[in-house]
Amino acid sequence: MKKYIFILLAAMAFVACSEDEGNELIGPVTEASADEIPLNVKAFFNDYVSENYEVRQGISFNFGSNKSLAINSMGELSQLYTGTRELPNIDFGKYTLILGNVLLPHSGHYYEKSEMEEYDSFYQMDVYIKVKDSGYHAITGVPFWGLYPKLNNKDIRFTPFSTDGKVLKLVDSE
């Protein structure tokens, strides 16, 4: 019996080590510097995440909520874009654009910043959201974006945090 328990424990340890290998932290991934990003790209995507709904109108993407996408070509960006404003030209040979949207249970939330780390098998993006007390409760989508030096082809996972570091509760998306 001890032999079987030892074999079972050894197998469980092997599986646990195998799962951890794909999740080793490689390090932080830094966004392109503000000086590198062309002004029209900054203006377009800052309007995309603006606190002012009227400013955000005309800039919309069809990819649902509670997602983050790595975009690596103007063709990919154009397929997702459903807005009315002209898309800015991005050098996708040099950069990857991250677009995302989180669905939160109250209105009055706005994108503040994001931070990303690379692991062996995925990227982890922490999205920081300003929480404002708007006086009413309605489900709100909070878009986010970032322009990064060309990224490897890996999944991007994200966690929304309030600016004070608390994890925010997502609303299930359809």
DSSP at 167:
B
Tokens of 76: 């990919």
State the residue range of the domain holding 145: 28-162
**Residue 31: predicted pLDDT:** 93
User: Is residue 20 in a domain?
Assistant: no
Distance CA 68, CA 11 (A): 35
Residue 86 has pLDDT above 90, yes or no: yes
DSSP H/E element including 26? strand 25-29
User: How confident is residue 137, by pLDDT bands cut at 50, 70 and 90?
Assistant: low
Residue 132 has pLDDT above 80, yes or no: no
User: Is residue 57 in a domain?
Assistant: yes
3-state secondary structure of 10: helix
Average pLDDT over residues 96-109: 84
Mean pLDDT for all residues in the chain: 82
User: Is residue 87 in a domain?
Assistant: yes
**Residue 22: predicted pLDDT:** 58
Total number of domains in the chain: 1
User: Is residue 129 in a domain?
Assistant: yes
Selected residue with higher pLDDT from 1 and 51: 51
User: Is residue 107 in a domain?
Assistant: yes
Q: Which residues lie across from 142 on neighbouring strands? A: 102
pTM of this prediction?
Answer: 0.79
3-state secondary structure of 49: coil
Q: Give the residue carrying structure tokens 């249970």.
A: 105
Query: Under 8 Å CB-to-CB from 45, ≥6 apart: which residues?
Result: 88, 145, 147
HSE at residue 155, side-chain half, CA atoms within 13 A, is 7
Selected residue with higher pLDDT from 160 and 140: 160
| Dihedrals phi, psi of 164, to nearest 5 degrees | -90, 5
User: Is residue 37 in a domain?
Assistant: yes
User: Is residue 93 in a domain?
Assistant: yes
**Residue 38: predicted pLDDT:** 93
Distance CA 31, CA 149 (A): 7
User: Is residue 58 in a domain?
Assistant: yes
β-pair type (140-149, 155-162): unpaired
